[in-house]
Amino acid sequence: MTSSVAPTPDHFEKLATFYLGRQYDPRSRKLLDELLLYDAKDLCTHALCVGMTGSGKTGLCLSMLEEAAIDGIPAICVDPKGDLANLMLAFPDLRAADFLPWLDAGEASRKGMDLNQFAQHTAQKWKHGLAEWGQTPDRVARFQDAAEVSIFTPGSNIGLPLTVLKNFDAPPAEVIGNAEAMGERVTAAASGLLTLLGEQADPLTSRKHILISSILDHCWRAGRNVTVEELIGMISNPPVSRIGVLDLETFMSASERSALAMLLNNLLASPAFASWLQGETLSIDRLLYTPSGRPRISVLSIAHLSDRERMFFVTILLNEVLSWMRTQSGTHSLRAILYMDEIAGYFPPVANPPSKPPMLTLLKQARAFGLGVALATQNPVDLDYKGLSNIGTWFLGRLQTERDKARVLEGLESVAVQSGSLFQRSEMDRLLAGLGPRQFLMNNVHEDAPTVFQTRWALSFLAGPLSRDQISTLMSDQKPTAEVPADAGDSESAESSPSTVAGSRPVVPSGIAEGFLQTDHADRTERQAVYRPALLASGSLHYVRASLDLDLWVDARRLLSCEGGVPASEWEASVPLNAEATWQEEPEATFGFADLPDELRSATRVKAVTRAFRDYLYRHHPLTVYRSPALKQSAPPGVSEEQARSFFRQPARERLDLETEKLRELIATKIARLESKMDTANRRIDRETEQYEAAQRSWLVSLGSSVLGAFMGRKWASRTNVSRMSTAARGASRAAQQKGDIARAEEALDDLQQEREDLEKELLEEIEQLGDRWDVSHLELEPVVIRPRKSDLKVSQPLILWTC
């Protein structure tokens, strides 16, 4: 930095504003004091970052994601190189030991240091760099605490495994009901799958593509999810008898269908492909927020995948984002970010890969739902600039060739035509030519003119692309330490007694049903699996509160372990039963049985315990609804306070944007009036100055004439000379008066300028107050506790459930 004055957090810590750097004057080559504060809602019209290697593109994009996280805005980031994993390298303590594991021994050697010295040097460098940009270790900690950064690795367990092959779920009703959206979703799913198989299939001419599309369309319109295994079977025996006007056999013979099914089956059966079936199923909600409602930066690392695997995954992801987007309410405030690095190849100018149609749809429609799409590339010649004309903000760094610059200028011109703004190609060309490292030209359609700026210091340590082992190390804390058997309940199960003796199947009381919990985790090699008795009760609770517009039925299932008898506390000792848990009517043939306690041998006693379940539900299952008086809204019933704040984040941001806009309009109106008065004052100064200069000239002429007459000494001119002297005196008086008028006019202008400065200061202060008021962490929440209606409580017949 060439400026000696570092900004302070008061200058840039503003809600819904991203601190990206400071403005830079390319003519004087000086860093200016003005900060580059980017309005978060401008990202709703999307952004593109272009720059060659070494331009600072990665640092700028990571800084934008850091700012979003601090502001509580989640992001999904597609990372083809491994750079974005650096977001996990945030070290608030700035200790050398924090940096040490991520340093390159070769680089340390080239600098003449050992690794420990290099780590100390790097820590000092990062501490100094942050301080120069007004950022403290507390800000690093704030970023670290604001959002959870997770690295997902589809098709691998390097990070958190993520699968898109467990099923092809039916899209939401909003998509099925929209013919265009449904067609896009079906086409993209079929194209992505065939790309994975190595087939470059045209949706209009490829029979394989049309067959798979017809099967998916048929199943999804019926609301049916399709697993890959089911799809293989349906390719051989489709659920449709005609494709278009042709019967199935004429369109594609059974042998051809079998060959396609075999191709997909071979892929699925390949040991190398087994990792694609592991991990969490792709869910946009889960990628954006943790189960507790905390915002998430989900880094989807695809560096380990082949080109066709990348294309398959990106295509499926973009379509999932589209489906999620269409279920959201409309908003003009930024709700979430989809960031994609190295977009070239997925959005080419001529070809039409399966990733291109959904990306084009997102660029055209996502802004209405508050989804900001941010793209980055170092290969600007490989992009479809007609599609990118939908992007409102362009961050342009150093470019490698004149051809790159020409393509970028062509794209900017297209944006200008689209938005109806003036485009000065020669000026843009000059600005781009003078950019250095970490210097960018920002062309934002929401601003009056382009801005050159230098990027701030990143909060995260920019270690470069991380290796597979480094990603695995980073994610070790987020991975489950061991595979936990599926318990019947969501909390820990009661410990089984080691002395349990497996006997024959006990007889349950007449009129009491029994079931046998299905499980895949019985150890059948070392000891015999044993069924143990438990009591299952189910109930339905009705919550009603007219003031909250609440009328909700909730089902509850509780499992009470009874191996040592019915606990004295009865249902207080029960655990919830997983919604996915199922049971069968007959036991496994190889299982033994624990003894049935006396309390469960009596139908009367079993029913009495079950009746107590009704009172337990009423006493222990109140529903808490968090209400925001300021927003006059309620969070979904049953969520935690943290989840409620996450829910209120978007409406609070919308209110902030709305009130900020109103405030700016109000102040702008006042400033416009002041500027009108200032124009009048300036004209008055000009007029008074002209009058003063005219009076002074007149006085000087009169004075000169009188002096000249005095020197000539003619008696006949004495009376005339006296008159001239008198005129000169009056001229001098008028000139002095005019000069006073100028001073008063200038004083009035100064007052107006001060009034304008006060208005601008007032605007900044009130915007800051609005930011504090609508900061979701400060939002007052009222917990409304609602008990279920006792008269509506319904409890089902008891069930003795044998668990293992």
Residues in the chain: 804
CA nearest 305: which of 332, 262, 276, 347? Answer: 276
What digits encode the pLDDT tens for the residues 319-364?
889 989 988 989 989 999 999 999 988 999 888 888 999 999 999 9
What does the H/E/C string look like for 504-552? CCCCCCCCCEEEEECCCCCCCCCCCCEEEEEEEEEEEEEEEEHHHCEEE
What digits encode the pLDDT tens for the residues 599-653?
888 888 888 888 889 889 998 899 999 999 999 999 999 888 888 988 898 898 8
pTM strictly above 0.85: no
Strand-pair category, 331-340 with 30-39: unpaired
pLDDT less than 50: residues of the chain: 1-3, 482-501, 521-526, 715-716
Asked whether 529 and 561 are in contact (CB, 8 A), the reply is no
Maximal C-alpha separation, the chain? 152
Task: Quickly count: other Cβ atoms within 10 Å of residue 203's Cβ.
Answer: 18
Look at residue 51 in the predicted model and tell me its pLDDT.
92
For tokens 């194209």, the residue is 191
Tell me how far apart the alpha carbons of residues 741 and 692 are, in angstroms, rounded to a whole number: 9
Asked whether 608 and 528 are in contact (CB, 8 A), the reply is no
- Supply 179's token pair: 């013919």
- Computed over its alpha carbons, how large is the radius of gyration of the chain? 37
For tokens 């919604």, the residue is 579
Look at residue 565 in the predicted model and tell me its pLDDT.
85
Asked whether 130 and 140 are in contact (CB, 8 A), the reply is yes
Look at residue 732 in the predicted model and tell me its pLDDT.
58
Task: Quickly count: other Cβ atoms within 10 Å of residue 200's Cβ.
Answer: 12
For tokens 């070392």, the residue is 526
Phi, psi of 309 (to 5 degrees): -70, -40
> Coil, strand, or helix at residue 462?
coil
Look at residue 95 in the predicted model and tell me its pLDDT.
95
Look at residue 700 in the predicted model and tell me its pLDDT.
62
Tell me how far apart the alpha carbons of residues 341 and 639 are, in angstroms, rounded to a whole number: 35
Asked whether 496 and 562 are in contact (CB, 8 A), the reply is no
Look at residue 213 in the predicted model and tell me its pLDDT.
92
Characterize 463-490 residue by residue with b for buried, 16 or more Cβ atoms within 10 angstroms of its Cβ, and e for exposed: bebbeeebbbebbeeeeeeeeeeebbbe
What does the H/E/C string look like for 690-754? HHHHHHHHHHHHHHHHHHHHHHHCCHHHHHHHHHHHHHHHHHHHHHHHHHHHHHHHHHHHHHHHH
